[in-house]
Chain A
Amino acid sequence: MNIVVIEDEPIIRNELKILLENALYEVTLIETFDHAADCVLQTRADLILLDLNLPGISGLDICTQIREKSEIPIIFLTSRTSSMDELTGMLKGGDDYITKPYQAPLLLARIAAVLKRTNPSASNEVSILKVKEVELNLARGCICHKDKKAELTKNELKILHYLFLHAGEIVSRLDLVEYLWDNQVFIDDNTLSVNVTRIRGKLKSIGIEDFIETKRGMGYRI
């Protein structure tokens, strides 16, 4: 996925690049804005992050120019927050509107949502994950080992999902809690421990022992 960033603040531009690259997107930065629209159309962009206040040209104009030729999803970034601005942005063909100062997780969530909406075929998520003979079925919300099966609650499922995605790595408790908060499970450190203990109990009931290792002071690993 290639994301084009049109933003005039160099620091914000570079930090956005780091942030998006960490989130496994390709990033193209545009630093001169006179022919921004043409530059964008030349790159193979999947999504555009567009600042509204650019020197010499308004982001809205760039949006209009892009829209004349392409349907690439556009997300506006701006520090203006009035409803009129938002409405104008939407009418000019923007797909979403994010106001500064934006929090990184929120920005990534919005980007993912727009990409998913405009490009549904690309996001066929895997619904069954497998690590060491243990299968996690996301669609059904259960965990299977050989022919035994245990039902999981929403919290347990999310915790296991993250651990499965990072199989083999040490996952810090903080990273895990933050991931959970990003996925609408708002629990604290203690409750995480309780949930992990409960998961271990369920794993034991289907014959898996020592699946989740505790690395004291560091986190968990499967």
Chain B
Amino acid sequence: MSFWSYLKDKFLLLLLQAVCMCIMGVFLCLTGYPVADFWLILIAWFVILSAWLITNWLERRRYFQKMDRILEGLDQRYLLGELMPKSWHLEDKLYQGMIRKSNKAVIERIHQIEEEESDYKEYIEGWVHEIKAPITSISLICENRRKQGDSEYGTVGLENQKIENYVDMALYYARSEEVYKDYMIQETSLEAVVYEVLSKNRQFLIEHQIQAEVDCQDKVYTDGKWISFLLNQMILNSVKYKSEHPLLKIYTRKTEKSVLLILEDNGICIRKEELSRIFDKGFTGSNGRAHERATGMGLYICKKLSSKLGVDLRAESTWGKGTKMMIEFPISTYLSKM
């Protein structure tokens, strides 16, 4: 609030003062007072008016600066109504009352939405757990019949596994906001995680003639369950965009500050201009559109989860060679010192 804009705001008051000064001048002239007296009164008037304007400006400025600071310091800005500095001005009080009312309405609405959202999330989580029982039944039935030589059941089993994967995506997406609630960090052998994911998708991968080389000696501190979800999505992507003789190389690299889990495929590449956007929500890209139905959600969920888990998810792609997906686990220097 500059002084100039303050004066502009007080324009009517200043005009009134000026008019009053003129009227007084005319009145003094007509009643025969000496001109010197007129100037004296005018100067005194002017000084008093200026002093009042300056103090009032300073006071107002302090008030609004204080409010500004409070607003800056708030992480939920809609709570301003509860924290506004006290003021004896009638206008301020009226405004504060209204802001408070309006904020209260906002807060109530936010609470309502939060409640609805958490209800919905709870329902989704419950639903996912319910649906896992029939998926398990189907998977067991198919596996048993397939072993007896009925290949139709193998196909049903594969489709069932797709359902399972979509259900998993829904579950992990619903949980992605509150990873901390379900995160148990322990020393995890990446090799075991990789083997589990490969063996889980065994039938699907064999059917797609996939070969895999695994070399994951390093251990990291993380929760295997979440990493196996990330890896699962990445492997399914690699298969979706595979080339003629698909080969997956899964290996770890240890650097000074981190352990990298790398999934390298020799499938079709991601265009350079699309590489930065593959983790965006709903992005399917030219590959996605050309192939099976891509929802553009898989990698988005992966990226979201990885940032919550404190690992870094990256992609590299060289034209004609394939794509590398990397999960980087930072090594805490604090832990290694202990």
Contact residues of B between 161 and 187, Cβ < 8 Å to A: 164, 171, 181-184
B68-76, B136-144, B328-336: which lies at the A interface?
Answer: B136-144
Tell me if A178 and B182 are in contact (CB < 8 A). Answer: no
The answer to whether A80 and B129 touch across the interface, beta carbons within 8 angstroms, is yes
Give the size range of A's interface with the partner.
35 or more
In the complex the two chains form, what is the Cα distance from A189 to B137 in whole Å? Answer: 29
**Which 10 interchain pairs have the tightest Cβ spacing?**
A186-B212, A15-B140, A83-B184, A104-B143, A79-B132, A101-B136, A101-B135, A79-B129, A11-B137, A100-B132
Does A106 make an interface contact (CB < 8 A)? yes
By secondary structure, the A interface counts as: helix
Tell me which residues across on chain A come within 8 A of B143, comparing CB atoms. Answer: 19, 103-104
Interface size on B, residues (CB 8 A): 37
Is A186 a contact partner of B213 (Cβ separation < 8 A)? yes
**Does A181 reach chain B (CB closer than 8 Å)?**
yes
> CB of A46 within 8 A of chain B?
no
Contact in complex: B199, A105 (CB < 8 Å): yes
**Could you say which residues of chain A place their CB within 8 Å of the CB of B206?**
174, 177-178, 181, 188-189
Given contacts A184-B195, A186-B198, contact A22 B147 (CB under 8 A): yes
Q: Are A84 and B182 CB-contacts (below 8 A) given A181-B199, A186-B214?
A: yes
Interchain pairs with CB closer than 8 A, number: 99
Give the distance to chain B from A20, nearest Cβ to Cβ, in Å.
Answer: 10
Interface residues in chain A, defined as those with a beta carbon under 8 Å from any beta carbon in chain B: 9, 11-12, 15-16, 18-19, 22, 79-84, 86-87, 99-106, 109, 174, 177-178, 181-182, 184, 186-191
Complex CA–CA separation, A174 to B183 (angstroms): 38
- Across the interface, which residues of A come within 8 angstroms of B133, CB to CB? 9, 12, 79, 100
- Chain B residues with Cβ below 8 Å from A83 are 182-184, 223, 225
Q: Does B202 contact A (CB under 8 A)?
A: yes
Chain A residues whose CB sits within 8 angstroms of the CB of B140 once the complex forms: 11-12, 15-16, 19, 104
Q: How far is the CB of B202 from chain A (nearest CB, A)?
A: 5
A106–B192 Cα distance when bound, in Å, is 12
Indicate whether B159 reaches chain A with its CB closer than 8 angstroms.
no
- Cα(A84)–Cα(B137), bound, Å: 25
| Residues of B contacting A18 in the complex (Cβ-Cβ under 8 angstroms) | 144
Are A100 and B135 neighbours in the complex by a CB distance under 8 Å? yes
Bound CA span A63–B189, Å? 28
Which residue of the partner chain B has the closest CB to A102? Answer: B136
Measured between C-beta atoms, what is the minimum distance from A78 to chain B in Å? 9
Residues B225 and A12 in contact, CB atoms below 8 Å apart: no
Query: Is B129 a contact of A191 with CB atoms below 8 Å?
Result: no
C-alpha gap A125/B258 in the complex (Å) = 39
In B212-240, the 8 Å CB interface with A consists of 212-214, 223, 225
B207 to chain A: closest residue by CB:
A174
Q: How far is the CA of A189 from the CA of B212 in the complex (A)?
A: 12
Q: Could you tell me the distance in whole angstroms from the C-beta of A180 to the nearest C-beta in chain B?
A: 9
> In the bound complex, what is the Cα–Cα distance between A181 and B199 (angstroms)?
7
> Which chain A residues border B136 with CB–CB below 8 Å?
9, 12, 79, 100-102
